[in-house]
Amino acid sequence: MARSPNRQAVFFELDGVLMERPQLTPAGQVPYYQGVLEALSRIDQRNFQIFIATNRPDLAFGRLKEREFKKLCEKFCEDMRHQRIRISKIYSCPYHPKGKAKFRKESIFRKPAPGMYKMAQQEFDLNLGRCWVLGHSTTDILAGSRAGMATILMSTGEGGKDGKFLVEPHTTADNLLQAIQFINDYEMSLKF
């Protein structure tokens, strides 16, 4: 339980929500979905911390190299600093029960387990009941639900069509700007 009952956050899946794929373009740029930087800048950072919580099966199965993912995260954080968007932390789980070599194992941090969110709760004293998860798969939505957070299923990426779990999000959004506007409107409604 958070000592500060109002400490809030928004958790984003990385690819499928913020960007098309987890690799830099040939020009060394992050392949953001259209409008992502503008949408992220509309989060009230006085009230919300921003986190990334991402499963990395591409690392587990060797489709993406660790150094490539690290470069992507570094460029992403650089872009965020340039836009004055504070990313509190990037949580990633490279483990999978059928993964290769060192990545072959179960992990409480692999969604749909809520481990990444629980870790953030402990590290940043968050009230998960006042936090949001924006994901593109039923795995993302189930993990957020298990952590007791509000969930928004994005139409981007898999758009919930992965069919892994039968779970209902609190709401859906066609794009990130629409999702952030929903959060802002909801939070404003609580003040009246």
Q: Where are the domains of the chain?
A: 8-189
The pLDDT, as a whole number, for residue 192 is 72
Q: Do 136 and 157 meet the contact criterion of CB atoms below 8 Å apart?
A: yes
Query: Which tokens belong to 131?
Result: 């936090």
The superfamily CATH assigns to domain 8-189 is HAD superfamily/HAD-like (3.40.50.1000)
The pLDDT, as a whole number, for residue 191 is 79
The pLDDT, as a whole number, for residue 2 is 47
Backbone angles phi, psi at 46, to 5 degrees: -75, -30
The pLDDT, as a whole number, for residue 79 is 98
d(C-alpha 16, C-alpha 167), whole Å: 18
Q: Do 40 and 32 meet the contact criterion of CB atoms below 8 Å apart?
A: no
Q: Do 149 and 32 meet the contact criterion of CB atoms below 8 Å apart?
A: no
Please give the chain's pLDDT, 192 residues, in tens.
Answer: 445 667 999 999 999 999 999 999 999 999 999 999 999 999 999 999 999 999 999 999 999 999 999 999 999 999 999 999 999 999 999 999 999 999 999 999 999 999 999 999 999 999 999 999 999 999 999 999 999 999 999 999 999 999 999 999 999 999 999 999 999 999 989 877
Burial status of residue 185 (CB atoms within 10 A of its CB: 0-12, 13-18, 19 or more): exposed
The pLDDT, as a whole number, for residue 190 is 86
The pLDDT, as a whole number, for residue 49 is 98
